Every structure is written in structure tokens, then in C-alpha cells.
Structure 1
Amino acid sequence: MAEKHTEGFYDSPEGVDVRGRYDGEFAEILTREALLFVAGLQREFREQIRHAMERRREAQRRYDAGGLPGFDPATRFIRESDWVCAPIPPAIANRMVEITGPVDRKMVINALNSGAKVFMADFEDALSPSWENLMRGQVNLRDAINGTISFDDGERKKIYRLNEKTAKLFVRPRGWHLPEAHVLVDGEPATGCLVDFGLFFFHNHAAYRAAHGEGHGPFFYLPKIEHSREARIWNSVFDRAERSAGIPSGSIRSTVLIETLPAAFQMDEILYELRSHSAGLNCGRWDYIFSYVKTLRSHPDRLLPDRVAVGMTQHFMRSYSDLLVRTCHRRGVHAMGGMAAQIPIRGDPAANEEALEAVRRDKLREVRAGHDGTWAAHPGLIPSIAEVFAAGLAGRENFIEAVARDDAAGIGEDDLLQRPTGRRTMEGMRLNTRVGIQYLAAWLAGTGSVPLYNLMEDAATAEISRVQNWQWLRYVAVLDGEGVKVAVTPELFARVAEEEMGRIEREVGGEKFKRGRYREACDMFARQCTAPELGDFLTLDAYNLIVVHHPGSGSRL
């Protein structure tokens, strides 16, 4: 039952100020008790979070001074000793295809109905974190879990409802580094992931128990972790949530995305910290490429080739995947594969079949590597991926017992850090620029998952575009293409940006271009690519442009 509230004001407890627009449906999520729960998480863990973020900065200063990430000698005993995580709950034993996407209402219904085993509802890379998107997402997921969700598409004259059988729901909150500027606790912005996790858990943990049985859920994905100390904080958050709700310890399960270069050296340690709450690790390969550049930004010998050349056949990428499989299976949990970002190519059957064949080859590689499942960005990919994984699993639910990957035991620091090979081209820089500008324009307008050039782009792929341009500019990389070799200079980049803006205008159409935020996005993208120091995240710089405070929405005094 929804909490009573003063009309037009959220019923905020002492010390909590909600600055987002008031909405009656949002008030059903932002109840006094739910906000008390979120505030309790913020107050208990904010100093630990600050410490962890400072330790991130300290590590980056070491890398900037010439150091490299590596395995921690102090935790060798964890890597070398025999221990396993808690058994995987039966409800999520088979995760061979997972679909991911933002939390808008139609997407939630379609993803749950897609035929995938899991839908990862994303409050992070696939979502522009406006107040409206975040709170509508919480409403949508509550309704989905309770089976009451529907969507009336007046334009298509179609009503969307859930099928009888749906995917299991996982939720990805934002990373530790992102604030929630619309919710203040004791006068400072709350940590974004604690708001996302806290509101979702508070309202929905009982529905998970009803669906899956006592001790099984809710289920989460955890992004952007760089060190096991950050996993330890999450484990403590989970413990507190379970105690608060009076549910068995270990009910919450989480899969950690290994999508930062430092985390690749911490896989055992991360699983160890979360061992009662773990459902495995995932190869977040697009963010991993971004993190490789960001972490090694002061190493001029680490220039990446074109983004399209940095695939899983590169030695450092294959080593990371193989080590993840070995680590997870040794510890009794899932080793999830990476995202297939392709989307159906309408009107060109030959090109569409070629794209699907590329997906099949990629997923066959993952099956042969021992991954228990994988990600898809579009429902149209699910039948092809499921066919590949079903054949590989051969009746099993996963490979945890069947594929130990002991041959990966010899993977060392040099393997994970080996320099990528391939060409750097003008077309690569042009593609980076087109994608970065268009993604950022969509993000500023409220859309965080954007189809561009037959791929589904999110913040991770846009980050690769940004940091690769920055890296090439910083070290005056020499590019092939357009008949000559050319050095990347600010003057060249400025010309390319203007030329690509012209191409974007032609592609999207003049009127849509004028109505959009393309010029604003271009200016921001160019500033980030040419900045003397590489910014940590594209969206941190852009976030203040989508924050809209409504002071009157807070609690009435």
C-alpha cells in the first residue's frame, strides 16, 4: 500500500531533501520508509565510499607515474587457497542468453518477453539518469515484478503486456562514482547506486521471495568496480539490507562486471568478498577497452588501434576472458560473456545475415572458452545466440562443473597488459567522432541507449570513442587513410568534427538536427577530447546539464 503523503510534497524524513519534480506515482516509490532506508545506507557507507574513491585516485596517480596494474601480493593467499562461493540459486542456474536495456516501460515488457533467460534492467550505461527516467524506471520495475505492467502504444495501436513466462530480472544500479543530485542526505547528494539499489530492494524483495522462494533474490549486476574493497562495501550493503528486511543472509545475489583493467587483477578477491552473495562475473568488454585507455593514459606506448580492431582475438582481451572463466568456475559461479551490440539491419537481408553470422562466431568463441552465458542488446539476436549456447551446453544448465579452464592458470600480468595491435585510421577517428557526438546529444535529450550504424551504442561504447580520440591527440598518433598518413593534431580534429557534424545533419535531417542538442554535444565532446587531462567519465561532465531541481518537492516543514 502506498504511503500517505502531503499533496505536492514528498514525505521525506529528517535530513533527507528530495529536489526532483513531484509526481504522485513517484511518491509511491519515495515513501518515508523507503527514504529512511536509503538514508540509512548513505549514512553508514558514505565514508567507506569516499575512502574507496580516494584509493582509486591514488592508484591512478601511480599508473600516471609509469606504474602498471598487477596482482596484489598481499592477497595471494585468497587466489591460491581453495574456497567456493555459495551455490547458485536454481532460479538462475541457466543464464545462457541475457538481454540488457534501459528501464523505460515498453523496453521492460519487451525484454522480459524476449525469450532470454535474464533481463538486466539498466540504471547505468543504457540510461540517461534524469529524474524522470530514474523514477519512472523504479515504477516500471515495481509494476513488472507485480505482474501489473502494461503499455498502450497509441501510435502502433497495440497494448503490450507480460507473457506467462518471462525472463528473470536483474537490476544494474549506477557505479560508486555517480551522485544523485536530486536526493540530498544531510545536505549532500546521495550516492547514485545506493538510491537505485535502496529503492528497488525496499519495494521488491518480498515479490522475489514470492516468485523464487525464500532466500533467492533480488538479483543485481554491479558495475565499474576497480578493487575488492569496493566489492566489500557492496557485501556490507547487502548484509544490512537483508537484516533490515528480515530475510535470510545470502538472499541477494550479484554478478560483478569485470569492466575495468584494475579489476582484472582482482577477480578472485572480488568473488571472495561477495562469496555469500555472488552469482559470478561478467566480461564487460566495451567498458574494459575504455578502461584500458583510461588506466594507461600516461603510457604513450599503449595506443589502441581503431575501435573495430579491438576484439576478443586480441591477446590481452582473450587472456582476460579466459582468466575470468577459470576463476569463476574454480569458485563455483557463472562466467558470463560480453555484449553482442549488433541490431537487425532492416531492408538488407544479406547485410543482416552477415551481421548475424558475426554474432554466431563471437558466441561460438565464448562457448568454446567456457562461458556460461552471454549478453544481447536486441531481441532479434536471441534465437541465434540461444542456438549456439544450447548446442554447446548439450543439456547442461551451465559449464560450472564441466569447464574448469585449468589451461588458463598460467595467465600472468604480461598477458593481461599485452599491447593491442592493428591500424589507426582517419575513418576510425571519424567514426569515433560521429558516434560520440550523436550519443551525447541523445543522452542530453534523455536517451541512454542509441542505435547507430547497425550497433546499439551506450555510454561504454561512447567512452571508447572519447578516450581513443583523446589518446591519439595527446600523443600525436599517425593515422592511415584518405590517401596519406596524417598526424592527429587539434587542427585536424577540429576539421574532422565540423565535417562529421555536416554528415550527421545530412543523415538525421535538417529539422531533427536543429531540434536536437547536436551542437551542444559537439562542443562538449570536443572539449573532452582535447582536454589536457583525461576526464574520468563522459557522463560526469554532462550530468549537471540534466539535473533539474524542484525545491518545492521536498518535505513540507
Structure 2
Amino acid sequence: MSTINIGEGFSFPKKFWESDYQELFPPELIKLLKNLHERLNPERLRLLEARKVRQEHYDRGEVPEFLDRNSEAVKGSWKVAPIPRELLCRRVEITGPVNVPKMVINMLSRNEKGERADMAMLDFEDSMKPSFQNVLDGYKNVILAVPGKLTYFTEDKKYQLNPNDMAYVMVRCRGLHLNETNIKINGEEISAGLLDLAVCFFHTARQYRLQNKTPKYYVPKCEHYLEARWWNNLFVELERATKFPIGTLRATFLIETLPATFQVEEILYELRDHAVGLNVGRWDKIFSDIKVLRNHPERIMADRSSINMERSWMENYAKRVIKICHSRGAFAMGGMSAFTPGKSPELRLEQTQKVSADKKREADWGHDGCWVSHPYFIGVAMNAFKNENQLKETLPDFDKYSDILPRSEGPHTIGGLRTNVRVGIAYMHGWMKDIGCVAFDNLMEDLATLEISRAQVWQWLHHQITLDDGVQVTKSLVASIFADEFQKILEEMKHETPENRHRELFVELEEARDMALRIFTQDELSDFLTTTSEPVEY
């Protein structure tokens, strides 16, 4: 990769510095990034090393546990800072990749039925592949979306925002574990999450304030209260450097890892000056359950499609977040409905009924709002949440120390194995094209659901479990299923692909199959599909 040293020890791909992306990184921002990196990256690396040490303990048979029940975080009378008025109604939040302008505009706008989400989370993480082109396009889209100026043109249509009638713009940065390979400071790769937050806050915070709004962010993949402290320190450093009052930036953290579910109160305590809530990130949580307990034969997770919020440990985890958040004055957001609208009226009706039941359950438990992945389901989700929020619902009869450890309750089926394999092939097919989420089998499959499929196949294979169908999971069985599903997906996709592209499609899917098979059956389960963005190629 050919890079250019801009100054302050800041190196950047020369290919992009010669383009209009250069304006994203003025000297003031480069200096800020250098200072943030030098102050905060050493501690980030220590925190990531601590994750490895904890996992070694889990691999030897230990499990996560609740922390000191007499700490200030648990026993103290603290509350989070008052929630700004404009953030008090978050009944439905829609999310999708930040780098695609048409999708960003559709997320922020009303759907065909005239329904609009309260909030839109523009995502640099699970739904966006972190190619450098995607990252930089995402920054540009955020900068234009906040004031309502983002537009997109096709040959026959213009997509644009209505600044007076659009969802509230939020940004989800990348996680603590991710490096941005393409930007280095003093020879070190910069933290991707730090970069995302700093660039977006630097360019948009004043625009938010001109609108009497609050810069609002989502932070993923937190595993420990000390990690929350690191993020809070980053918030403070950003505010001080840009001369904003402490608490200007507000954040919602996803509680989507098994270790974090045991530290909900401690995490919120660390964030109390900046937090507006926590979110029950159900899909990444299932992945984390499998990953953390991967060596525990008594906790082999069931088919991914059967693990829902009705499972006892999942319900207890959600209610724990609700009880703690509301007792501390913070929002408790529900999870994602990952459906994409089916092609037939019958299928869409079935999906609508499932979304309605899921969101009604979340509202009945006390969540303040929820997520959807497609504008079609905004109205269905909105109907479940009758009030602006449910901050007064504190679940007095629920014990926040209820059992939240996953259980091996089945089913474990050949059908579940096939589903995981299909997701692997389809997702990697998109990934190879720099796409981070794919509509497949009437679901929106993003990195979180790919990670579930990857981890589950690995766990079943590692323990060579015998499925309910009586078949033992072996490498040869997994390979044969990959071969079967490759042929099925190829035939399915041919119907939607011009005939002159069928050979190209075959080659693409073959490569996706081989890539997915390799990562699903590797000897050691890697913590994430990737921890770095792809280097720019020339």
C-alpha cells in the first residue's frame, strides 16, 4: 500500500489523499487524532489483552460472574445525566450501513405508507464491511445527513431528505477490537472506533447544536466496565479538544456480549455523564454466548433460529438491562427484528405477525423502543410502543441477579446446520463485493448473524455432537452440506441473474463457499471474522 505522510506522524493511503476525501481530514482533525491515539491507544491494547486472558479462563471451564454487589456502582444512589428532551422518544430505531446514500436516505425518511422511525442508526460496524472506500463514504454521508442535505440520483429518480421531517441521525462506530489498517499514527494502526467517533463528532457536533440537538452515538461490543471507562475517557477528550461542555456527546451502549451482561450496572456507572441508555443486542449476544463458552460441552447452543427472547436466559438478560437502566434514569432499548419483506402476501403476513408479537413482548417487559432493519416493519413495531418511553417501569418483582448463563436445551438439527452453511456462503459472497449485510432467505444477514453461524458450526464440530437427527457432526459432513447448499444457492441466484453472468456467478459463489468452509472449520475459533479493515489495493 502506497501511503503519504501528512504530518504529525499521520500516514494515509496516497490513492485517497489525491481525491476529494482529503477534505475530511483538515490539519486540526489530524492533530486531534494524533493526540487521542497517543493518550488512549496503549490502554486500549491492554484492555484487548485482558479479553484474551479472560477467555483463557473461560476455556478452562470458568464462567462469567456478577461483580461486587456492595460497590458504589450497585449500592450508590447515582443516576445518569438527565436525558435531553429530543432523545426521550425512541420507540423505533432503524439501522443499516452508513456508506450507501440511498439506504441512508430511506432510513431517515418516511416509507411508502407514510411511516417514519424516530431514530436512524447509521452503522459503521456490523452492517458495513470496513473497506476504506466504505468508511470514507460513510463519513461523507454522515456529514451531509445531519443537516438533511444528503442526496442521491439515479437515471430516473432523485432521493433526498426533508430536513423538517426526518429521523434523528445517530452513528454507530466500530468496536474496541477493530483497527483501521489504512491510517497509521507513528507507525501504529489507529483504533477504528476512535477514528469513527472523532471524525463524525469533529464534523457534525456544531451542526447538531445549531439544530438544538444532541450528538448521539451507539457503541458496540463492550465486554467490561473498564472498557466503558475507556470509551468515556474518549468522550471527555473529544469534548475538551473541541471546546464543548462535558456531557455534550451522548451514547447508548449495546449490551451484546456475555461478560457485559454480568456488568450492566458497572458499565452504566462508568458512562453516567454521557449515557442515555443501553441496548439489548440479541444477535451479537448469541454469538458471544457461543464464543465465550465454546469449550463447555454442557452448554452446546441450540439451532440459531430457535434461540429467541423466550429462552429463560435471554429473557432474564433483557429484563436485567431494563431494571437497571430504568432505576438509573437511562433508556433500555429492545432488539432487532431482522426480517426483510417476503415476496408473497402470505409470507409478509406471517412476518408481520412475528414482528408484532416480538415487539409487543418487548414493550410488555418495559423496553423503551426497539430496532428494525427494514422500513416495511416500522409501523408494525411502532404499534407496540404506545408511550413516548417507559422509564417508570422498574420491574419491582424481577431479581436483577437472575440466572443469565446460556443453557443447552436443543434442538440441534441438520436443518440448523444447513441454515448456518447457507448464511455463510451468501454472506461471504456479499463480503467479497465489499457488502456488509445481505438480504437472504427473507432475513437481513449482517456480520453478527454470520458470526453466530460461524461459531455454531465450529462449536458443534469441535465437540462432534450427535444431532437430534442421529447424525454426528464431522468435517466431512460439514463439507458435504457446503457442497449441497452451494448448488442450491447457485440455482436460486441464477433466476435473478442475467444469463450472461451465470459463469461469473458460479465462480463468485465457489470462492465464497471455499472461504466460508475454511473459516467455519478452522482448528481454533477466532474471536472475530476480522479485527482489521482491508488494506487499500492499487
TM-score range with shorter-chain normalisation? over 0.9
1:297 aligns with 2:294: yes
CA distance in 1, matches of 2:415, 2:15: 43
Q: Please point out which of 209, 222, 225 is paired with 2:222.
A: 225
Q: Please point out which of 340, 349, 371 is paired with 1:375.
A: 371
Contact 2:341–2:376 (CA under 8 A) maintained in structure 1: yes
**Distance 1:235-1:297 versus aligned 2 partners, 3 A rule:** same
Any idea what SS the aligned residue of 1:358 has? Answer: helix
**Distance 1:182-1:299 versus aligned 2 partners, 3 A rule:** same
What is residue 78 of structure 2 aligned with on the other side?
83
Could you list the runs of 5+ residues in structure 2 that have no partner in the other structure? 111-115
Shift of residue 444, structure 1, vs aligned partner: 2.1
What is residue 513 of structure 2 aligned with on the other side?
522
What is residue 105 of structure 1 aligned with on the other side?
101
1:194 aligns with 2:194: yes
What is residue 350 of structure 2 aligned with on the other side?
354
Cα shift readout 1:101-135 (whole Å, capped 9, x = no counterpart) = 00111111111114101100000000011111100
What is residue 5 of structure 1 aligned with on the other side?
none
What is residue 69 of structure 1 aligned with on the other side?
64
CA distance in 2, matches of 1:21, 1:329: 49
Contact 1:315–1:420 (CA under 8 A) maintained in structure 2: no
Give the aligned residue type for 2:517. A
Cα shift readout 1:17-46 (whole Å, capped 9, x = no counterpart) = 002632533111122222221222111101
1:256 aligns with 2:253: yes
What is residue 363 of structure 1 aligned with on the other side?
359
1:428 aligns with 2:413: no
Q: Please point out which of 7, 10, 32 is paired with 1:13.
A: 7
CA distance in 2, matches of 1:41, 1:537: 25
What is residue 132 of structure 1 aligned with on the other side?
133
Cα shift readout 1:417-446 (whole Å, capped 9, x = no counterpart) = 141422111111111001112102211211
What is residue 117 of structure 1 aligned with on the other side?
118
TM-score by length of 2: 0.94
Contact 1:75–1:269 (CA under 8 A) maintained in structure 2: no
TM-score by length of 1: 0.91
Shift of residue 143, structure 1, vs aligned partner: 1.1
Cα shift readout 1:364-422 (whole Å, capped 9, x = no counterpart) = 000000000000000000011111112xx2xxx21112x0112222533xx10141422
Farther off after superposition, 524-533 or 183-192? 524-533
CA distance in 2, matches of 1:512, 1:334: 49
**Distance 1:87-1:24 versus aligned 2 partners, 3 A rule:** same
Contact 2:174–2:193 (CA under 8 A) maintained in structure 1: yes
1:404 aligns with 2:394: yes
**Distance 1:109-1:81 versus aligned 2 partners, 3 A rule:** same
Q: Please point out which of 22, 30, 39 is paired with 2:34.
A: 39
Cα shift readout 1:205-250 (whole Å, capped 9, x = no counterpart) = 100111125xxx2110000000011110111111111111111110
Contact 1:11–1:31 (CA under 8 A) maintained in structure 2: no
CA distance in 1, matches of 2:311, 2:148: 44
Contact 1:339–1:376 (CA under 8 A) maintained in structure 2: yes
What is residue 208 of structure 1 aligned with on the other side?
208
CA distance in 1, matches of 2:70, 2:401: 17
CA distance in 2, matches of 1:433, 1:242: 45
Any idea what SS the aligned residue of 1:465 has? Answer: helix
What is residue 470 of structure 1 aligned with on the other side?
458
1:491 aligns with 2:482: no
Contact 1:128–1:444 (CA under 8 A) maintained in structure 2: no
Contact 2:8–2:30 (CA under 8 A) maintained in structure 1: no
What is residue 553 of structure 1 aligned with on the other side?
none
Give the aligned residue type for 2:450. A
Cα shift readout 1:462-493 (whole Å, capped 9, x = no counterpart) = 11110000011011111234xxx100001111
Q: Which consecutive aligned stretches of 4+ in structure 1 deviate over 4 angstroms post-superposition?
A: 8-11
Give the aligned residue type for 1:260. T
Shift of residue 10, structure 1, vs aligned partner: 7.1
CA distance in 2, matches of 1:262, 1:442: 30
CA distance in 2, matches of 1:15, 1:75: 46
Could you list the runs of 5+ residues in structure 1 that have no partner in the other structure? 1-7, 551-557
What is residue 152 of structure 2 aligned with on the other side?
151
1:532 aligns with 2:527: no
Q: Please point out which of 456, 479, 487 is paired with 1:502.
A: 487
Contact 2:320–2:400 (CA under 8 A) maintained in structure 1: no
Instruction: State how 1:414-453 maps to structure 2 within 5 Å.
Output: 415-453=403-441
CA distance in 2, matches of 1:267, 1:513: 51
Any idea what SS the aligned residue of 1:416 has? Answer: coil
**Distance 1:100-1:236 versus aligned 2 partners, 3 A rule:** same
CA distance in 2, matches of 1:209, 1:376: 27
CA distance in 2, matches of 1:307, 1:9: 43
CA distance in 2, matches of 1:72, 1:426: 39
Cα shift readout 1:324-364 (whole Å, capped 9, x = no counterpart) = 10010011010000000011112x11111111000000000
Shift of residue 309, structure 1, vs aligned partner: 0.5
Instruction: State how 1:159-178 maps to structure 2 within 5 Å.
Output: 159-163=158-162, 164-178=164-178
Cα shift readout 1:54-78 (whole Å, capped 9, x = no counterpart) = 1111110110111000111287342
Determine what percentage of the aligned residue pairs are the same residue: 40
Give the aligned residue type for 1:479. L
Any idea what SS the aligned residue of 1:365 has? Answer: helix
What is residue 3 of structure 1 aligned with on the other side?
none
Farther off after superposition, 108-117 or 364-373? 108-117
Shift of residue 153, structure 1, vs aligned partner: 1.6
Q: Could you say what the CA RMSD is over the residues aligned between the two structures, in angstroms?
A: 1.7
Shift of residue 513, structure 1, vs aligned partner: 6.6
Q: Please point out which of 231, 240, 246 is paired with 2:237.
A: 240
Contact 2:3–2:11 (CA under 8 A) maintained in structure 1: no
Q: Please point out which of 274, 277, 281 is paired with 2:274.
A: 277
Give the aligned residue type for 2:262. F
CA distance in 2, matches of 1:220, 1:486: 46
Shift of residue 95, structure 1, vs aligned partner: 0.1
**Distance 1:308-1:513 versus aligned 2 partners, 3 A rule:** farther
Give the aligned residue type for 1:62. H
CA distance in 2, matches of 1:16, 1:377: 36
Contact 2:458–2:520 (CA under 8 A) maintained in structure 1: yes
Shift of residue 504, structure 1, vs aligned partner: 1.5
What is residue 555 of structure 1 aligned with on the other side?
none
